[in-house]
Amino acid sequence: MLSKTPPSRFEIGAYLILVAGVAGDHLSTGLALARENIYESNPMALMLMQKGLWVPTDVALILISVGATYIFLRILKKPIAKYMLIYPALVGLIRLTVTLWNFSLII
């Protein structure tokens, strides 16, 4: 049974980092690819872009990451379960790093 515990500030922060990272990556990639002599070097992202699946895949990543973490935190009512917030926060930080890299290419 799910507890009705509201999300903590840390939980909301982890989810916001994930969303900011994904949104920043999309924005910076779009701006970078609009420039001359800049191309996508990630073959997986390139394939997803060519098939029009890049945005749906990232939306699914966000929904599954947030949904699964949210549900598991409420099912596993132990303090150790809070470490599950590392996943969305880490994915978001990696994507924010990609965002910074993309902006460094633009500048």
In a domain, 2, yes or no: no
Whether 3 maps to a domain, the answer reads no
- Res. 1 pLDDT band, cuts 50 70 90: low
CA distance 29 to 39: 9
**pTM score, whole prediction:** 0.90
Please write the tens of the pLDDT for every residue from 21-60.
999 999 999 999 999 889 999 999 999 999 999 999 999 9
Nearest of 92, 105, 73 to residue 2 by alpha carbon? 73
For residue 19, being part of any structural domain is answered with: yes
21 inside domain:
yes
Please report whether residue 15 resides in a domain.
yes
Reported confidence tier of residue 78, pLDDT bands at 50, 70, 90:
confident
Give the chain's domain count.
Answer: 1
User: Which residues span the domain enclosing 61?
Assistant: 9-106
The three-class DSSP label of residue 11 is helix
Give the span between the Cα atoms of 48 and 10, in whole angstroms: 32
38 close to 107: Cβ distance less than 8 angstroms? no
Residue 4: inside a domain, yes or no? no
User: What is the C-alpha to C-alpha distance for residues 36 and 88, in angstroms, rounded to an integer?
Assistant: 33
Q: Is 45 inside a domain boundary?
A: yes
Per-residue model confidence (pLDDT) at position 6 = 85
Please indicate, yes or no, if residue 89 is contained in any of the structural domains: yes
